[in-house]
């Protein structure tokens, strides 16, 4: 990420132990050259920081928040409660329950407070969704997304040719 550019996307997680999953979101954003920041913000261990972070993000120029958490995964929903920004939630799988607990904690939001929840461990797709949100007002990013989709399609056809060889 260009260090001098203010972040458009915040990638936050409840613990540094989530990073092995969440780094995929950061990597995707870097692939698209999207300025982003990474921060540990815990709904339970640093609740006041979490509220301040959520309230101040839009004012700092952030456009999308990607929030990952595992277990009692309240971080994405609590951030969504205190910001007008779109929040993308990433259920992080822990050793027990295979991430189903994380998924249900994040996806079952009450009416009026949406979190766009990706699959368990789906941090790369969370990054891609953030790029798509930004691309609604950024033609350069929209073009990059079109090339990304074309490459994806070409890779499937390449695998087909390999199967038939």
Q: Does 92 participate in binding ligand RP5 (rule CB under 6 A)?
A: yes
Query: Is 71 or 89 the residue whose CB approaches ligand RP5 more closely?
Result: 71
**Helix, strand or coil, per DSSP, at residue 122:** coil
C-alpha 99: how far from its chain's center? 16
Two tokens at 105? Answer: 């904690």
Q: How far is the CB of 40 from ligand RP5 (least distance, A)?
A: 9
**Helix, strand or coil, per DSSP, at residue 142:** helix
- Are the CB atoms for 88 and 118 separated by under 8 Å? yes
155 annotated ligand-binding residue:
no
Query: Is 65 or 92 the residue whose CB approaches ligand RP5 more closely?
Result: 92
Q: How far is the CB of 145 from ligand RP5 (least distance, A)?
A: 29
DSSP percent split of the chain into helix, strand, coil, nearest 5:
55, 15, 30
Going 89 to 92 to 96 to 98, the CA torsion angle's sign is positive
In the window 60-89, what residues touch ligand RP5 (CB under 6 A)? 69-71
45 annotated ligand-binding residue:
yes
Kindly determine how many residues on this chain lie close enough to bind ligand RP5 according to the rule CB under 6 A: 12
Of 19, 23, 37, 42, which one interacts with ligand RP5 (CB under 6 A)? 42
- Are the CB atoms for 7 and 37 separated by under 8 Å? yes
Q: Does 15 participate in binding ligand RP5 (rule CB under 6 A)?
A: yes
Helices 139-164/123-135 angle, 10° precision: 140
15 annotated ligand-binding residue:
yes
Query: Is 57 or 92 the residue whose CB approaches ligand RP5 more closely?
Result: 92
Q: CA 37 to CA 8: how far, in whole Å? A: 8
Q: Does 18 participate in binding ligand RP5 (rule CB under 6 A)?
A: yes
Residue corresponding to tokens 């079952």: 108
Residues that bind ligand RP5 in the complex, under the rule CB under 6 A: 13-15, 17-18, 42, 44, 69-71, 92, 94
Annotated binding site for substrate: 15, 18, 45
């Amino acid at each position: 990420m260009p260090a001098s550019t203010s972040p458009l996307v915040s990638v936050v997680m409840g613990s540094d132990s989530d990073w092995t999953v969440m780094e995929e979101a950061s990597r995707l954003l870097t692939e698209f050259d999207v300025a982003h920041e990474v921060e540990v913000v815990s709904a339970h261990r640093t609740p006041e920081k979490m509220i301040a972070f959520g309230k101040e993000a839009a004012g700092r120029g952030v456009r999308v928040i990607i929030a990952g958490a595992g277990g009692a995964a309240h971080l994405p929903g609590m951030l969504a409660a205190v910001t007008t920004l779109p929040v993308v939630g990433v259920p992080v799988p822990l050793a027990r329950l295979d991430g189903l607990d994380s998924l249900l904690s994040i996806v079952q939001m009450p009416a009026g407070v949406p979190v766009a929840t990706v699959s368990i461990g789906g941090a790369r797709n969370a990054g891609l969704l953030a790029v798509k949100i930004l691309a609604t007002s950024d033609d350069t990013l929209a073009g990059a997304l079109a090339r990304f989709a074309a490459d994806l399609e070409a890779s499937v056809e390449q695998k087909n040719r390999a199967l038939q060889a």
